[in-house]
A and B are shown apart, each in its own frame.
Chain A
Amino acid sequence: MTRLQIPKTYKLFIGGKFPRSESGRTYRVTAAKGDFVANAAQSSRKDARDAVVAARSAVGGWSGATSYNRVQVLYRIAEMLEGRRAQFVDEIRQLEGASASAAASQVDRAIDLWVWYAGWADKYAQVLGSANPVAGPYFNLSVPEPTGVVAQIAPQESDSLLGLVAVVAPAIVSGNTVVVVSHETAPLPAISFAEVLATSDVPGGVVNILTGSPAELGPWLASHADVDALDLTGAGSIDWIPLEAAAAETIKRVVRPSDDLDGSLQKIAAFTETKTVWHTKSLI
C-alpha cells in the first residue's frame, strides 16, 4: 500500500509569522497541466496593510544593523536556499511546467544572484557615496541610506523564484524592508522562500510576502501613505499606470516594469536616499 502524502497548507508571511489571510479567502493553485496542487491564501487589503505595519516596524532594526551583520544574515539565506534546492526545483517544474534543467538553472541563478547582492551590503555606500571637495572649510560627506518601506510586485510571467529574488534582494540589502506580492499563479516557491527566511537570521518584518492578485493588492500598496517606494518591476502584465499615478500622492519613488532580472548596483541605488552632511572645520 502506498503511503498517503501530507499536503502543505500555504499561508502568508507577515512580520515573521505565517498567518492565513484575514479575509479567509484562498485560491486554487494548479500545476502547469491544470491539476490541483494547493490552496494559497488570497491576500486582502487588510493583509497588505498589516504587512506594511510589520515592514515599517522592522525598518529601524534592519537599517540600523551594521552592514557586516547584514551581509552575514543575507549570505546565511543563500546557504539555506542551497539546502532546499531540490524543493524549489520541484515546485518550479510543477507550477511553471519547466524542464528539470530549466528549473535547476533558475534555482541556481536565484541563489547566485542572492549571494551577489548579499556582498553589496557593506560596499554599496562606499561606491555610491562620496567625499565632496567643497570650496570652504567643511568636511562634506554624502552617504546613501535606505528609503524605508518598499512595496513590490514580483515578476508574473515566469521565473517565480528568480523574479522574487531579483526584486527583494536589491531592496533589502541596503536596509529597506519590503512587502512583496508574489507570482500569482506560481506562488509556492515564494512561500517556501518565506520558510527559508523564517528559519534564517533575518528579523521578522524585513520581508513580507503576500500571495494573491497583484491587480487587487497593487492599488492599496501604491496609495498607502506609509509606503516610501513602489517597485513595479513585475507589474508589466497588470494595469500599472494608475499605480504609478497613485504613488505620486506621497511622492513615492517608483521603479517601472522591466523584464531585466540581472543584478545591478543601480537597482540597489533606486531605493536609497543620498544624505549629505556638512561638518564645520574650525579655522586654525
Chain B
Amino acid sequence: MSFLEYAPAPESRAILSLRDSYGLFVGGEFTDGHGDPLDSISPADGSRIAAFATADAADVDAAVASARRAYDKVWSRMPGAERAKYLFRIARIVQERSRELAVAESLDNGKPIKETRDFDVPTAAAWFFYYAGWADKLEYAGLKNPRSVGVAAQVIPWNFPLMMLAWKIAPALAAGNTVVLKPAQTTPLTAMLFAEIVQQADLPAGVVNIIAGAGETGKALVEHDDVDKVAFTGSTAVGRSIARSAAGTRKKLTLELGGKGANIVFDDAPVDQAVEGVVNGIFFNQGQVCCAGSRLLIQESAHDEFVERLKRRMETLRVGDPLDKNTDIGAINSAAQLARIEELTAAGVNEGAVSWAPECSLPDEGFWFRPTLLTGVSTSHRVAREEIFGPVLSVMTFRTPAEAIAKANNTPYGLSAGVWSDKGSRVLSVADKLRAGVVWTNTFNKFDPTSPFGGYRESGYGREGGRPGLLSYLTEEKK
C-alpha cells in the first residue's frame, strides 16, 4: 500500500440543519422573493442542497429601501463604539459556528473542507474582528473629515462565498454604511447562514440585506438610483459594464476583477518551498482564484529540474470528495466553469502547449478537472493571456530579471505576482517593478485583514483590507 492510499475521512454533514428553502433576507427577516427560485447543487455530485428565493426588480427596490431606512434612522446615527460591538459580536458568532459554515461552504462550493475549515471561515471571522475595531476610530483612517457613504450595493463571486461576504460587509458596516449584498448564483448558502448570524447578533433590521439571484438581480442592484456605493468582485467583463453604468452617477465604485498572476522562480530559489508555493498558487481552491499564480515563469537554467519536481509533487495531490479531510483538490464550482476550463486548456494544446496531468481517478458525478501543467507555452498563447480560473498552470521561461519583469507585466491585468529567490536584494527590486497590487515573495496566496488587496490596471481599483479597505467605504466631507 503506497502512502497515497488512505481511508476516507469525511467530515460529517450532521452539523448542518439546513432548511429546504431560503427566502431573501430583507429588513431583518426572511421574506419571499419574486424572481424564479433557484436550486443550489453540490458540485461534487450534482445533488440538490436547497432552494433559494431570488429577487426581481421590486425585491431589489425593497432591499435598497430597507437599507436606506436603516442607514438614515439607525446605523449612521449610532456611535462608532456601538457599531464596533455589533461587529465583534458577529465575528464571535462566525467563530462559534465555524464548523457548520465550513461544511456548508464545502458542500455548496465544492472546495476542500481543509480550506474552508482552515482558511475561508477563519479569514471571514478575522475580517469582522479587524474592522470591528475601526468603527470608533474612523478619524484615524486618513481623511480629514470622514463620513460614511450611505447604502452600499455589493456583488460577490462564487469562489470564496463567505470570505468575500466578510470582505465586503465588515468594512462597510464599520464605516457606518448599510448594505444590500448579492451572493453568487451558484453559492448562496453560506450568505443565508450569515443572515441567521445577523439575526442572532441582533443587528438592527435593514443594516444587512442579502438577496440571491442571477446576473439580472445584480444589475438591478448596482444600477439602483438610491445606491451610493457599489463594490463588485468578479470578472473584468462584468466590472467593465458596471463601471459604464455608474458613469455620471454619484456612486463611489470599487472593483476587484480578474487576474493572470505571474509566479517568477529564479534559479537560486529555495526549491522545496518554491514547488509548494507554486502548487498552492495555482491549485488552491482548484485555481478558481482571481490572484492565482497561473503563469509560471521559470529561469531557463532551472526549468527542467523544476518542472520534474513539480510533476512529482502534483502526483501526490488528492483529488476528490470536498468533505474528505484528506482532499487537496475538490470539485469545480459549476458545469459552466468546467466547460470554460476545458475549452481554454484545449485551446492551449491546439496552439502548441504540451499538457500533462497526474494519473488520478475522478468521481463519476459532479464537475472535476485534473490539476494540469501546460509546458512550452508562449506569451501569445491564449492560456498565457486569458484567465482560465481553474487548476491549469501555464509554464514559460526567462533568462534575465528584466525579461522576467517584462513577461510578468505583459498582461492587461495587474492583481498578483510571486517572486522566488534566496537573494533578498533581487527580490526587493523585482517586487518594485512588478505592476501588481499584491506581490508575494517566497510565499503565495496569503491574505490578512490588515493587508490591502486589490488590482492595478484591468484587475480593478480600490482596495480591500487594511486602512485602504476602510477608505473604500468612506468619503471626505468638505468643511
Contacts and interface: CB of A to CB of B under 8 A. Distances in A.
Contacts of B457: 228, 250-251
B467 A251 contact: no
Contact of A279 (B441, B454, B456): B441
Interface string A27-49: 00000000000000000000000
Interface in A266-284: 266, 273-280
A274 B436 CA distance: 9
A142 B451 contact: yes
A134 B448 contact: yes
Contact of A278 (B236, B412, B443): B443
B243 A132 contact: no
B160 to A, nearest CB: 18
B344 interface: no
A273 B457 CA distance: 9
A133 B143 contact: no
Contacts of B241: 248
A81 B75 CA distance: 49
A265 B476 CA distance: 11
A249 B442 contact: no
A66 interface: no
Interface in A218-256: 228, 240-242, 244-245, 247-251, 253-254
A277 B449 CA distance: 14
Most chain B CB neighbours (cut-off 10 Å) among A132, A142, A264, A278? A278
Contact of A280 (B248, B257, B436, B443): B443
Contacts of A216: none
Given A138-B446, A241-B248, A274 B441 contact: no
B441 A244 contact: no
B48 interface: no
B439 interface: yes
Given A276-B437, A279-B442, A132 B450 contact: yes
A260 B460 contact: no
A241 B438 CA distance: 32
A54 B355 CA distance: 42
A7 interface: no
Nearest to A278: B440
Contacts of A135: 126, 448, 450
Contacts of A245: 244, 247-248
B255 A251 contact: yes
Nearest to B418: A278
Interface in B389-438: 412, 414, 427, 431, 436-438
A127 B126 CA distance: 25
Interface residues on B, range: 35 or more
B133 interface: no
A278 B446 contact: yes
Main secondary structure of the interface of A (DSSP, over half): mixed
A80 to B, nearest CB: 31
Interface in B445-469: 446, 448, 450-454, 456-461, 463, 466-468
Contact of B468 (A248, A260, A274): A274
Contacts of A127: 142
B240 interface: yes
A132 B451 contact: yes
A138 to B, nearest CB: 7
Nearest to B475: A266
B259 interface: no
B247 A241 contact: yes
Contact of B441 (A147, A254, A277): A277
B240 A248 contact: yes
A142 B143 CA distance: 18
Contact of B439 (A134, A244, A260, A275): A275
Contacts of A250: 412, 457-458
A280 B451 contact: no
A135 B466 CA distance: 13
Given A245-B248, A251-B458, A132 B441 contact: no
B73 interface: no
Contacts of B412: 250
Given A135-B448, A244-B247, 18 more contacts: A136-B448, A138-B446, A241-B247, A241-B248, A244-B248, A245-B244, A245-B248, A248-B240, A248-B241, A251-B236, A251-B257, A265-B142, A273-B461, A274-B463, A277-B438, A278-B440, A278-B443, A280-B443
7 contacts: A136-B446, A241-B247, A248-B247, A251-B255, A273-B414, A275-B438, A278-B451
